[in-house]
Structure 1
């Protein structure tokens, strides 16, 4: 789940079978952003989608185009046990240049609203957040999600000299240091990534009429290590996106405070190998609960650094295994390895 799929790069074309692009505007008095990807011939739900800016949750769409006339079906909650998703509303409008205008109406005819949308040129949109590599890459490669997340964060709290900023719709909150543009840009980019994961999850959950959105995404980020040269944060996430069961994971991020570069363990301990790291984890592992964990820890085709998420603490490097399946969740135990057991450290390694 840590690697939830996000929408693909949008390519705006000119043929009737090509994507129409990203539009923003209003449906009635509601601000919306719409992405019209390739049209469909059978009304199957495609990558076309739109969201109300106040919520940021995607509503799936499918559309057909005949000349300047465009008909877009909106598909809302998927009823449990239903054979297929049903359209709940339709946009009927005319495309003229960069404008898309018409009428939105529910399929039962009980509600009708005018809509006016205009194609978005993201290059002209001002940044609502400080400039960062991830934000600029999103603007260049994924205009729809750029428009979604290019919104000012709010101050959640201040603790000492650290300010914690929250994205209002997802609730994802990350720290900012009092100085250091590079490290704060890196923290913002990781936060934006997690905001997209959270909103994607909540969008999926919103298509289930039988589930409360409050069950969808909970994330707690803490600073676990801070020095003049290093910052390490831990992220605990619990989520339910409408699948068979809820799940959870732990992630870690260690940054060079001066450059903002995300550091691997081998950047700090150059002689460390994946096998030696795995051996140290298993040495420190303490079995908790059932089922027995030895088979789970051993049942891997190959050992890699990706088997663990890591973050620094004052006592050492804490590892959390990524390879433990949900059914063996009690075996996903955190283990902290003292720095001295990781080999000879480089110039940045904590002592």
Structure 2
């Protein structure tokens, strides 16, 4: 499943009036300037001088153009684009010389047209009082994406009443990515926390879209649908289904749910809700997106052992008792085998009004078996095995 690759730092509430210089991790540097008369944002990694990589976008269009090449002394020779999925056609080039605060030189088309290029180390506008925590955190962690999002705005779309809560849908026009915010039914503070997560996720999906565009070339596909599954005073739960082709042999699809603890605004891991192991549940196991310290190797190993040795066998046992017909081992090898432990190890899950939905994930040749509509664990069962977070779950 295509997911955003960013790990975000905590949001600083204080507002900064000074403008800072862009510093990205892993040797990446971000520049702003012009190509011809058009403003651009450019990111470069010159750590390996014989294999320089980068990308840039025109501020008017926001779509990435890939860069690759080499750095010799203070001269940067780059090719724009690639022939990864097409004919061996001529490509535009950039030849740049290093300056005291950036690069300057020229861009040349395959037909010989030349345009001047001037770049300086990027200066990043400070977050404002209305900047989402997700976007504010990009300023330090992913300044290139931070600058891209400065030029994008959400457009209000339809309104919807779902389970007694008013939802406002928003769309980012260039990518067509849509998600909702909750406009009524929660307290002001709860609503703010939840909407920061929801709209942050929308922007993260916009970043994923552009990442897919960069890797996929001319035949890229990225179609997405978000669907609310349950909203209550305790949780907001939704599923995001994505069909995508970002290069490679085949297109694919997958689900990436978001489950939010209303009282804290934190995303919930399955261990937060359901725990069938020994001892205390693994608390907040999937909260890297809020800037929490990543799991250590020992913690990751412990979680893997719990999922494979305890959770998955337990889930199969429960579903076999609840849905004996669906869980019956198939007569033929190419039929859907829901007794296979490997299909439950990376379970997408979300809340429903009937119980906790746990999805299956099959190998490519059996992807039609994904998303069974029956694999719901009743809340009466879930409540017998509470997770790390105390939640008021509905009745079955």
1:47 aligns with one of 48, 53, 56: 53
In the alignment, which of 119, 122, 125 is matched to residue 120 of structure 1? 122
RMSD: 3.4
Determine the C-alpha separation between the residues in 2 that align with 1:226 and 1:158. Answer: 15
Q: Tell me what 1:100 maps to.
A: 103
Cα distance change, pair 342–120 in 1 and its aligned pair in 2 (3 A): same
Matched residues in 1 for 2:276 and 2:71: separation?
Answer: 59
Cα distance, 1:262 vs. partner? 1.0
TM-score by length of 2: 0.71
**Alignment correspondent of 2:193:** 182
Are positions 1:131 and 2:173 aligned together? no
Matches within 5 A, 1:332-351: 332-334=370-372, 335-344=375-384, 346-351=390-395
Partners of 1:247 and 1:20 in 2: how far apart? 30
- When residues 49 and 198 of structure 1 are mapped into structure 2, their CA distance, relative to the original with a 3 A threshold, is same
1:212-291 matches, within 5 Å, as 213=220, 216-271=221-276, 274=311, 275-282=313-320, 283-284=322-323, 286=326, 291=334
What's the counterpart of residue 300 of structure 2? none
Are positions 1:319 and 2:375 aligned together? no
Highest relative contact order (Cα 8 Å, sep 6+), 1 or 2?
2
TM superposition shift of 1:23 = 0.9
Q: Which of 32, 37, 60 is 2:40 aligned to?
A: 32
Moved more, 48-57 or 269-278: 269-278
Alpha-carbon contact 1:73-1:87 (below 8 Å) kept: no
Q: Which SS does the other structure have where 1:242 is aligned?
A: coil
Aligned to 1:153: 154
**Which residue of structure 1 lines up, in the alignment, with residue 348 of structure 2?**
309
Distance apart, 1:79 and its partner CA: 4.6
Q: What is the CA deviation profile of residues 185-233 of structure 1, one whole-angstrom value per residue up to 9, with x for unaligned ones?
A: 1112222322222211122222x4xx3x4xx111000111011221101
Indicate how the Cα distance of structure 1 residues 264 and 129 shifts in structure 2: closer, same or farther if over 3 A, else same.
same
Structure 1 residues 157, 142: CA separation in 2 closer, same or farther (over 3 Å shift)? same
In structure 2, relative to structure 1, the CA distance for the partners of 1:167 and 1:114 (3 Å cut) is: same
Q: Using the TM superposition, give the Cα deviation of residue 249 of structure 1 relative to its aligned residue in structure 2, in angstroms.
A: 0.6
Residues 12-49 of structure 1 show CA distances to partners (whole Å, capped at 9, x for unaligned) of 79xxxx9572012222243321111116554x4x4311
Structure 1 length-normalised TM: 0.80
- Pairing 1:298–2:340 present: yes
